[in-house]
Amino acid sequence: MTTHIENRRIDTADTNKKKIKIILILALPAVIENFFQTILGFVDTYFVSQIGLAEVSAVGVTNAVLAIYFALFMALGVAANVYIANFMGAEKVEKARHIAQQSIVVAAVLGILTGIVTLLFAEPLLQLMGIEENVLAAGSLYFRIVAIPSIFMAFMFVLSAILRGAGNTKAPMYVAIFANLVNAALDYFLIFGIWIFPEWGIAGAAVATVTSRVLGSIGLFWYIQRSDMLRVRKDYWHLDKEHLKELFVLGSPAAGERLIMRAGQIVYFGLVVALGTNVFAAHQIAGNIEVFSYMLGFGFATAVTILVGQQIGAGKYEEAKQYAKLGVFLAFGIMTIFGSILFFLGEWAGGFFTDDETVIHNIGTALKVSGVFQPFLAVVIVLTGAFQGANNTKFPMYLTGVGMWAVRTLFVYLLGIKLGWGLLGVWIAIGMDISFRAVVLAVQFSRDKWVAYKEEPEEDPESECHPQTTKDDLPSCVNSY
């Protein structure tokens, strides 16, 4: 009896080792991709900070508004990613190809619409942030150049999501590395003016960003065309109501979650702006340093979303749950280590961006608080990816709404403004929101209330187990494998 139990433990350990290896194979390219995506904002902030703090604030405020656009594009990417992973897990390659093309069409439409909005309403959108007049001029210039061609932003998000949904995390990584190297080089030449390049200042940073996105979109589309499973077919470009509905049903809550987050961010960003341009500049620089931790979390979340989506598509619930658990544990450990780095070296890192001692001190304070909450952030990011992979985008949306408005924004005002704690109070409030959501997601996951089930499964002769099964059907589906 004892030997049997010991053998079972060994088998479980070996299985977990294999799962960890699969997670790392998918996560590491995604981490590297996120690293180079992060470098895009990091390099922009570094070079722009050499012009002045007002320009740093201009880029920061603009990016806060652009985050609303990103919310739409990322939500579409989440829907495409999950459905493609589901269909691949259920071995329905043609359906995966079809929904990939539908998501490209929708991305183009959204990109054009957001570009028109930017053209017509750039200044009013930035003024919602309550920025000072000297920041508005630079911000509106940067905003228009970066966001009128929003279609390339949309393509970067959605094309990458399509490739990841099919299990290819390396192609988006290669493209991100290339695009961001181009961006970094053009930043240097166009901001300061070198050789034949004119000195364009903040406009140069914007042009560099757009150029890198155009080249990145071309590269991602090239990789899709090389894939036998995803290659574009001419007869799939017409809009398909069924697939559009599927993208909308799954993508709308994901978009809602992002929009709730961004709307709350705009409000509390406005509160930070009220503390002064230098305080907001410190907040922005600290955010650009902290975002390296997000690249770690989102890398593991990417792997978990893909693997959970594939296992749910194949009807393997227990396998899906185990991948989610292992992804959380790996991200928790790595982001705890990174949190220690932020805590002890944050102020030193802030010195690369400015010589202002007050601003550097504020950056260090913010990153100390951020370092403490990194383990909770790991849980939030990876479990959100697991919920989405399990077709459950509604619960993260509701939770984000409560966390953003009832916790973060409220306590930013109470601690940062009312009690006069300044940037310290702002980042403590952010940490409270993250901790609250981490605990709720963990409880919901442990209670097995994280998978979304369809009320009635669709009949499909291709597979006994459907990409989205009912709760009653799922156990029998699992046992059949």
In this prediction, residue 185 carries a pLDDT of 85
In this prediction, residue 474 carries a pLDDT of 39
| Angle made by CA atoms 376, 308, 242, in degrees to the nearest 5 | 120
In this prediction, residue 44 carries a pLDDT of 67
Instruction: Name the pTM for this structure.
Output: 0.77
- For residues 366 and 286, is the Cβ–Cβ distance under 8 A? yes
- For residues 219 and 172, is the Cβ–Cβ distance under 8 A? no
Residue ranges of alpha helices (H) inside 193-276 are: 202-226, 241-274
- For residues 411 and 428, is the Cβ–Cβ distance under 8 A? yes
- 304 closest CA partner among 249, 380, 377, 386: 386
In this prediction, residue 244 carries a pLDDT of 73
Q: Where are the beta strands (DSSP E) in 93-232?
A: none
Pair of tokens at residue 357: 């001692």
In this prediction, residue 152 carries a pLDDT of 95
- For residues 371 and 349, is the Cβ–Cβ distance under 8 A? no
- Using 70 as the pLDDT threshold, list the residues of the chain that sit under it: 1-14, 37-45, 129-131, 229-240, 243, 453-481
- For residues 19 and 326, is the Cβ–Cβ distance under 8 A? yes
pLDDT digits (tens, 9 = 90+) for 350-397: 888 888 888 899 999 999 999 999 999 999 999 999 999 998 989 999
In this prediction, residue 39 carries a pLDDT of 65
Max distance between CA atoms of the chain, in angstroms, equals 79
What are the respective helix, strand and coil percentages of the chain, to the nearest 5? 80, 0, 20
Hey, CA dihedral for 415, 384, 157, 294, is it positive or negative? Answer: positive
| Residue 334 Cα distances to 15, 41, 64, 300, 331, angstroms | 22, 22, 27, 10, 5
In this prediction, residue 227 carries a pLDDT of 77
| Angle made by CA atoms 97, 18, 294, in degrees to the nearest 5 | 65
